[in-house]
């Protein structure tokens, strides 16, 4: 899991930073060669959500910076219900990307998400100057 805007808030730019990273990661999967399986394509799923979180350092022997809250769970659900080599966004993330501009979004439609009920989700198809390779 990757986050942006924590601990220093960056307005709505966090959505664009994560979306750009996700597009780049999916695109590199098309050219990446797995050394011990050169004929197998690397496939990843990506999910993006935006919302409030609570953050803090947990542990004393091996401290970790942890994030908590419904936003973390929803982002995880966006990834787990996505498809290989695709980026699924929640409505809140899609709205921010629309405000930022420069991203290609397609409505996936209503999806039943465990613990959340029906959610309208979006496919992030790429940036206007860089589409996700097929």
> Rounded to an integer, what is the distance from CA 122 to the centroid of its chain?
11
d(CA 114, CA 81) in angstroms, rounded, equals 10
- Residue partners of 72: CB distance under 8 A and separation at least 6: 1, 53
Task: Determine which one of 114, 127, 128, 131 is catalytic.
Answer: 114
Active site residue 108: no
Q: Within 13 Å and on the Cβ side, how many CA atoms surround 79?
A: 15
Cα radius of gyration (the chain):
16
Token output for 69: 């809250």
Task: Determine which one of 33, 37, 77, 116 is catalytic.
Answer: 77
Active site residue 77: yes
Task: Provide the annotated active-site residues.
Answer: 77, 114
């Amino acid at each position: 899991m990757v986050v942006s805007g924590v601990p220093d808030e960056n307005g709505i730019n966090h959505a664009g930073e994560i979306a750009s990273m996700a597009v780049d990661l999916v695109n590199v999967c098309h050219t990446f060669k797995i050394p011990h399986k050169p004929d197998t394509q690397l496939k990843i799923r990506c999910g993006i959500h935006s919302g409030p979180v609570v953050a803090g350092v947990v542990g004393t022997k091996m401290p970790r910076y942890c994030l908590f809250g419904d936003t973390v769970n929803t982002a995880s659900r966006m990834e787990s219900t996505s498809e290989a080599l695709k980026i699924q966004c929640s409505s809140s993330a899609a709205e921010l990307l629309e405000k930022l501009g420069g991203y290609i979004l397609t409505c996936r439609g209503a999806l039943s998400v465990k613990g959340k009920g029906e959610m309208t989700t979006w496919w992030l198809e790429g940036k206007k100057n860089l589409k996700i390779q097929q």
